[in-house]
């Protein structure tokens, strides 16, 4: 049975400013580094065989902190794990978007990557990784919207009412072709649930 653990990267200055990050290459802030270290300490005795990460800086930094704690020698970077590309909205806040494009900015074609495109690249990655690492535990460090799209596709009845917190852990297992969620948006290393 293959197990995937999805980790959302640590926080960034843009997270705090509520700026759309998308494929922008933003580093972790001090809180993000500290929280990634708390996560790494939490999972250091867990059994994870391999780590994959988005090639965006905030995810790579999170993955490297976790890898050191788990004593995993290499983090495999994969661009298919990047956040949903935000097109023209990247770097903007909600008030800025409303000022620039109006209240209905979501209805405009602003170059935002479609859910279908995100799911397509995500499923390509998952198919490859589950074949390559059959019956192993694989950590995947990625991004909030990306992970929500993936989990929603794999576990159709998963209730995802809350947004994914920075450094949260969500785990899924595949058994006879069916995915089930074991853990969703867990932040107990930050004092959450």
- Give the span between the Cα atoms of 64 and 51, in whole angstroms: 9
- Give the span between the Cα atoms of 8 and 158, in whole angstroms: 17
- What is the domain-level CATH number for residue 177? 3.40.50.1240
Number of domains observed in the structure of the chain:
1
User: Which 3 state secondary structure label does DSSP give 163?
Assistant: coil
pLDDT at 161: 84
- Give the span between the Cα atoms of 178 and 172, in whole angstroms: 10
pLDDT at 192: 65
Neighbours of 43 (CB within 10 A): 17
pLDDT digits (tens, 9 = 90+) for 65-101: 999 999 999 999 999 999 999 999 999 999 999 999 9
Range of the domain at 168: 2-190
Vertex 169: Cα angle to 163 and 172 (nearest 5): 100
């Amino acid at each position: 049975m293959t197990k995937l653990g999805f980790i959302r990267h640590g926080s960034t200055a843009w997270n705090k400013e509520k700026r759309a990050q998308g494929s922008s290459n933003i580093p972790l802030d001090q809180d993000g580094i500290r929280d990634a270290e708390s996560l790494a300490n939490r999972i250091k005795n867990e059994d994870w065989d391999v780590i994959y990460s988005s090639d965006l800086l905030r995810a790579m930094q999170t993955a490297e902190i976790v890898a050191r704690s788990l004593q995993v020698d290499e983090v495999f970077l994969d661009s298919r794990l990047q956040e949903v590309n935000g097109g023209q909205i990247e770097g903007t806040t909600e008030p800025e978007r409303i000022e620039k494009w109006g209240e209905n900015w979501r209805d405009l074609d602003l170059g935002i990557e479609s859910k279908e495109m995100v799911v397509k690249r995500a499923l390509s990655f998952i198919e490859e990784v589950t074949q390559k690492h059959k019956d192993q535990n694989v950590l995947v460090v990625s991004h909030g919207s990306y992970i929500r799209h993936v989990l929603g596709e794999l576990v159709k009845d998963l209730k995802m009412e809350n947004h994914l917190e920075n450094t949260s852990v969500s785990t899924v297992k595949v058994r006879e072709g069916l995915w089930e969620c074991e853990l969703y948006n867990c932040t107990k290393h930050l004092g959450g649930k």
